[in-house]
Amino acid sequence: MSQAAILVPGQAGEGPALILSAPISFWGGVDPKSGRIADVRHPECGESIAGKVLFLPGTIGSSSASAVLMELVHAGHAPTALVLHEPDAILLLGLIVAREMGWMTPVAVKLPRDAFSAFEGQQVRVGADGEVTIRGSDLTD
Amino acid sequence: MSLKLTADERRIANGTDGAAMAMRIVAESAALLGAPRLLPIASAHIDGALYHGDSGTLFAERLVEGGARVAVRSTLNVGALDLMGCARVRLEEPQRSMARRMMEAYRKLGCEQSWTCAPYQAGHRPTLGTDVAWGESNAVVFCNSVLGARTNRYGDFLDIACAISGRAPDYGLHRPENRLARLVFDVSALPRAFMASEIAWPVLGSLYGREVGDAIGVVAGVARDPGEDALKAFGAAAASSGAVGLFHIASVTPEAPDAETALGDVEAETVIRVTPDMVAEAQARLSTAESTDRIDAVAIGSPHLSLAEFDALERLISGRRLTVPIHACTGRHVLGELDRDGRRKALEDLGVVIVADTCVVVTPILPDRSGGVLMTNSGKFAHYAPGNTGYAVLYGSLADCVESAVAGRPRFAEIGR
């Protein structure tokens, strides 16, 4: 269990951990219609961030990342929680604006980058209070 | 350090209208960034009017319904439609109507109908040291680096929220101490022939962005000012491959009369000595096409072409008919000039597809051709085309792009490196 700082408050979320091995540009790198990673140069290309607890080693590129994340939230394809090692104002703005619109948003929390690997391959729950826990696989359905 | 709002800012944020929503978004972002206060801004460039899905349209319309108006000069970045009717955008209903509603909402908020990613070549040029709130990664990096105005990389929604509130978080690149370079990107070992070639700056930009990430560097060893279009290409490529918001070029950009000044008279943490091999590798990375025996389309103009770049295009085509179309993306500030002299029609008659108000990687314009190959001279198009269009990319100079479009298959001239 880790206690993470809350970057943007939101709904608690649970799902398989997806730990990206390289920074990603949400705009052009993630399909806003599905959550699939579309950047052919990205190591996790083809995987979907929808329904995952997404561990992000950073973002690059376009300043439209917030629009893509907000669209994923609105369309129901967002990660169930986001874990970043530092606040990413451009990306997280998508959550801030979605909250202003009155939509349900996943919680975004901060953990040191070297803490990410402990969650590899695990079912993870991020509480609304920032508690990050590994769930036994028998608890998932 | 926590955010302190003025009494006036608090009063606005506590309201229920569009201005209140904008102020809360700016304040929440400021708190997230650790900014101690908000500061007044002189202008904004809004990237948020590009349709990515219905959520952005609903947000803009909520602001309009709330009676919001921009408080400062605000230009608009590209939208998803070509409102000038030059190119056919294959955006289907209901997305098409939602994209149009979004563009209309931003107009109602009081934004200028500039619809370009190169506002700095369309008469929007804040002066050295001015605080502004700009979106669109290439516009941000140009504004900071070449104009010396001060902006962070404002994401969609924060840009319009800043424009409405007339304020931005006092943070990051608004502060002079955060604008100093920490590393040197030394290009003095590169052959003069390469540095004089047209691909030098986009290729170097792509390499620079990947090497520095979000750090600020100063490019050293540049013999002469490469000109505004080259700096535009460098910044756009750097801001695609890395999170670059500001670069300096010694003796070229305004905050770098020399490398020492750009570094704040502190020794650089890192010196990247760029070799011809690094450049060759960076250039090769821009292409993703596996075979180089065909092309299906050519796209230029990311960032939007200037009039000078159209001059070069015309010179290179020199009246020849194209076998494969060249999509030339630009803004209405250039389109007006082209139309005045009948140049647009002449280019279109030869097979150039002019794209205005938008571009080929942000909205479906290129034919839907799976496995297609797109040739481009833009480091930014090269970076985004595979993910956004499904085309593989072949990277070359403008001259290579034109010769290939005429021949209908890839042609590359040798460049000394």
Residues B217 and B140 in one domain: no
Q: The domain containing residue B88 runs over which residues?
A: 7-175
Check if B59 contacts A (Cβ < 8 Å): yes
**Cα–Cα distance measured from residue B14 to residue B260, given in angstroms and rounded to the nearest whole number:** 47
**Dihedral of the CA atoms B186, B191, B195, B198 (nearest 10)?**
-140
Domain count, chain B: 3
Same domain, B188 and B325: no
For tokens 């005045």, what's the residue? Answer: B340
Is B137 within 8 Å of A63 when comparing Cβ atoms?
yes
Tell me, yes or no, whether B274 and B301 share the same domain: no
Confidence at residue A88, expressed as pLDDT on a 0 to 100 scale: 87
Q: Do B17 and B156 belong together in one domain?
A: yes
Q: Label residues A78-114 b or e (16+ Cβ within 10 Å = b).
A: bbbbbbbbebbbbbbbbbbbbbbeebebbbbbbbeee
Which of B52, B106, B388 is the best mutation test for A, with the most CBs of A within 10 A? B52
Sign of the four-CA dihedral A77, A78, A80, A83: positive
pLDDT of residue A141: 43
Q: How far is CA B76 from CA B104, B135, B336, B393, in A?
A: 11, 9, 17, 28
For residues B164-178, average pLDDT: 97
Same domain, B278 and B292: no
Asked if residue B352 and residue B250 are part of one domain, the reply reads no
CATH number of domain containing B399: 3.30.499.10
B4-38, pLDDT tens digit by residue? 999 999 999 999 999 999 999 999 999 988 999 99
Res. B1 pLDDT band, cuts 50 70 90: low
* CA angle (A62 as vertex; A5, B233 as ends), nearest 5: 140
Residue B29 counted as domain residue:
yes
> Which ipTM value was assigned to this complex?
0.88
pLDDT of B388 reads 85
Give the minimum alpha-carbon distance from B22 to chain A in angstroms, rounded to a whole number: 9
**Residue B371 reports pLDDT greater than 80:** yes
pLDDT tops 60 at residue B270: yes
> Quick one: pLDDT band at residue B417, thresholds 50, 70, 90?
very low
Instruction: Give the pLDDT of chain A (141 residues) as one tens digit per residue.
Output: 899 999 999 999 999 999 999 999 898 899 999 999 998 889 999 999 999 999 999 887 666 789 999 999 999 999 999 999 998 888 999 999 999 999 999 999 999 999 999 999 999 999 999 999 999 754 444
Same domain, B222 and B309: no
Closest chain A CA to residue B384: A28
Statement to judge: residues B269 and B327 lie in one domain = no
Q: How far B107 CA lies from chain A's nearest CA (Å)?
A: 19
Residue B413 lies in a domain: no
Tokens at B165, concatenated: 């509130």
Q: Note if the bond before B40 is cis, omega within 30 degrees.
A: no
B21 at A interface, C-beta within 8 A: yes
- B317 found inside a domain: yes
Any CB–CB contact under 8 A between A75 and chain B? yes
Residues B387 and B338 both lie in one domain: yes
Find the mean pLDDT for residues B44-55: 93
In the stretch 6-65 of chain A, residues with CB closer than 8 A to chain B read 7-8, 23, 25, 27-29, 32-33, 38-41, 58-65
The mean per-residue pLDDT over the stretch B219-225 comes to: 96
pLDDT, residue A61, reads 62
**Domain match, B152 and B296 both:** no
Report how far residue B382's alpha carbon sits from residue B379's, in angstroms, rounded to the nearest whole number: 5
Residue A11: strand, helix, or coil: strand
Counting residues of chain B whose pLDDT is more than 70, the rounded percentage is: 99
Domains along chain A with CATH numbers: 2-139 (3.50.30.10)
pTM across the whole model: 0.91
Q: Is B48 close to A62, i.e. CB distance below 8 A?
A: no
Q: State which of B149, B175, B201 marks the end of a domain.
A: B175
Q: Annotate A103-137 with DSSP letters as a single string.
A: ---BEEEE--GGGGGGGTT-EEEE-TTSEEEEEPG
The average pLDDT across B154-175 equals 95
Residue B382 counted as domain residue: yes
